[in-house]
Chain A
Amino acid sequence: MTMTCDQLETLLPEFFDGSLNVGQETAAADHLATCTDCRTIVSELEGVSSLSLTHGRLVLPEASRNRIRAALGLNPPPSDAPT
């Protein structure tokens, strides 16, 4: 089974989810082995996911975390400081 660029593009969400069936996975791999444009697109989309994972997440500031914990009546987290 051969796959076109358009067909691969349609299946990109499943490609990145790892949810292609075996036949689709083989066809996608065969297509990527011969299509420079699609290889570039897939590589750049992998880059987007990687950057988003490493730079996209925020951390609730410590003072706000403690304030909200107190407002919710939650016990403070255990301290790392030696006793």
Chain B
Amino acid sequence: MDSFPDMPTPTPSVAVLFDQFADGVYTLGYRILGDRHLAEDVVQETFIKVIRSLGTYLGEGSIAAWLYRIGYREAIAATRKRRETPLDPDEMLEAGDRPVTSVEDAVLAAELTRRLDAAVARLAEPLRSAFVLRDIEQLSTNDVARVLDISTSAVKMRLARARQALRVELNEYLQ
């Protein structure tokens, strides 16, 4: 028997966490704020807080939920700081914002990506965050509940509504 259930899981270094979660926090920040520069600020502020508070992480819940919760709060705080402007679904991201694909794949995916961006941007914010964390970042339902500080039932309700809205918006691509 090699497992030691009473041993705390070693806390990874900030550099390891940055490599693992920077893209995810950037994705969450962009999906909430609709602005890549503000999303980059969210990444930086999130990891400043991670550096300051990593020692207080007690291993309760996953470290992903702990870290995304900091990122989520930073993104929501940023929405309150800036003048309220609706997301622009047609805002184009730079090529560097997407995973690298072949030229052919990139061309074929461009329209679909644009439509997905627009559809996600049109979701009401509470639905959007739950959807991004669960279906894009692949957190567990329990972890999404921890990040958003809501019940798992509320997460499931938001997910169902978000997925249904996207099913309608993206219907022509789902046949």
- Which A residues lie at the B interface, using CB under 8 A? 12-14, 16-17, 19, 41, 43-45, 47-49, 51-53, 55-65, 68-69, 71-72, 74-75, 77
Bound together, the chains give a CA A48 to CA B134 distance in angstroms of: 12
Bound together, the chains give a CA A68 to CA B14 distance in angstroms of: 13
- Which B residues lie at the A interface, using CB under 8 A? 14-15, 18-19, 22-24, 26-27, 30, 39-40, 43-44, 47-48, 51, 93-94, 96-99, 109, 112-113, 116, 120, 131-132, 135-138, 141, 156-157, 159-160, 163-164, 166-167, 170-171, 173-174
Question: Which B residues are CB-close (under 8 A) to A52?
Answer: 116, 120, 131, 135-136, 166
Checking A19, A51, A60, A71 against B22 with a beta-carbon cut-off of 8 angstroms, the contacting residue is A60
Do B160 and A60 have beta carbons less than 8 Å apart? no
Tell whether A68 pairs with B47 under 8 Å between CB atoms, given A13-B156, A52-B136, A61-B96.
yes
Bound together, the chains give a CA A50 to CA B156 distance in angstroms of: 18
Do A51 and B173 have beta carbons less than 8 Å apart? yes
Q: Chain A at the B interface: mostly helix, strand, loop or mixed? A: helix
Which of A19, A57, A65 has the largest count of B CB atoms less than 10 A from its CB? A57
Question: Which B residues are CB-close (under 8 A) to A72?
Answer: 14, 18, 44, 47-48, 51
Do A45 and B120 have beta carbons less than 8 Å apart? no
Do A49 and B14 have beta carbons less than 8 Å apart? no
Tell whether A44 pairs with B40 under 8 Å between CB atoms, given A52-B135, A58-B30, A68-B22.
no
Question: Which A residues are CB-close (under 8 A) to B164?
Answer: 45
Give A76 Cβ to nearest chain B Cβ, in Å: 10
